[in-house]
Structure 1
Amino acid sequence: MYATVSDMCLRYQRRNLDLLTSSKTEDGKPDDAIIQNALNDASALIDSYISARYTLPLSVVPGALAQQCCVIAWYYLNDMRATEQATQRYKDAVRWLESVRDGKTPLGVDADTATAPDSENLAQVVADPLVFSRKQRGFI
């Protein structure tokens, strides 16, 4: 899961989400299950793209993924009523996911939160000093 219902509320305001999810629970409160289903569907779409390049589940969820998840879920919630802006943002999100899948765009995990490889048996490269350099130009 890359985003939560509260992430959606922060990005799109609760009243807008309530208009899209007109169903209510037994006690008259808005039904967050509809929003959660849209977020689950958006997360599944994201997984289908990034699983080609990254091992899932991700240990750290980058902010860009949470943003794209909300954009896709918003589009799903709008369904047939999606505005041109919502449709364009959805298409942009899918294009971004394609570029992540193809390795053109990194996910952008912060260096502070990235973890080092667990193995101590990493390859090391050792080389002799340079034989030729710019100072030795024209020598031969």
Structure 2
Amino acid sequence: MPYATLQQLTDRFGEQMLLNLTDRAVPPAGEIDPVVVTRALADTDAAIDGYLAGRYALPLAQVPPRVVDLALTIAVYKLHPFEPDPKITRDYEQAMKALLAISRGEERLPLEGAEPAATGNSGVVTNDRARPFTEDNLKGFI
């Protein structure tokens, strides 16, 4: 299940912006290229899955609005063939920081019936071997 759709991108960013970003035909076809959008959305889904996989069982049964928001932000950044404007770059960087926080467990997703995966015991493990030099075997040298 994709985290975002073409319709959601259109609703959020407008048809004209998507047309400018995706119509790469020469001469321009004058319509949004669904192949370009699908590729950007697939790349976005893969990136999000990489961050969520350590904490949540994938695929998610329901997609929380927070994940949809992150997916839309990342997808529009990926749709830019050249340097995006500073706001889109800043939003993308914030979205990636949010995904990192989710993957670390600093931010939790509100998913019913899906608890984050346990991270296991991260304590230090040590081995204590017998001491080769003790007071008893060094008698006479000390």
Query: Any gaps of 5 or more consecutive residues in structure 1?
Result: 118-140
Query: Any gaps of 5 or more consecutive residues in structure 2?
Result: 116-142
- Show the counterpart of 2:20: 19
CA distance in structure 2 between the aligned counterparts of 1:79 and 1:23, rounded to whole angstroms: 9
Amino acid at match of 2:77: Y
Amino acid at match of 1:23: R
Amino acid at match of 2:23: S
CA distance in structure 2 between the aligned counterparts of 1:64 and 1:15, rounded to whole angstroms: 25
Give a deviation string over 1:7-55, Cα, whole Å, max 9, x none: 100110011100111236xx86431111111011011000000001001
- Work out the percentage of aligned pairs sharing the same amino acid: 31
SS at match of 1:30: coil
Q: Cα RMSD (Å) of the superposition?
A: 1.9
8 Å contact from structure 1 (residues 99, 105) kept in 2: yes
- Show the counterpart of 1:126: none
Q: Larger % of helix: which?
A: 1
Count of residue pairs the alignment pairs up: 111
8 Å contact from structure 1 (residues 100, 107) kept in 2: yes
Give a deviation string over 1:39-94, Cα, whole Å, max 9, x none: 11011000000001001000010011011001001101114221111111111000
* TM-score of the aligned structures, taking structure 2 as reference length: 0.72
**Which segments of structure 1 move beyond 4 Å, counting only runs of 4 or more?**
none
8 Å contact from structure 1 (residues 23, 30) kept in 2: no
- Show the counterpart of 2:100: 98
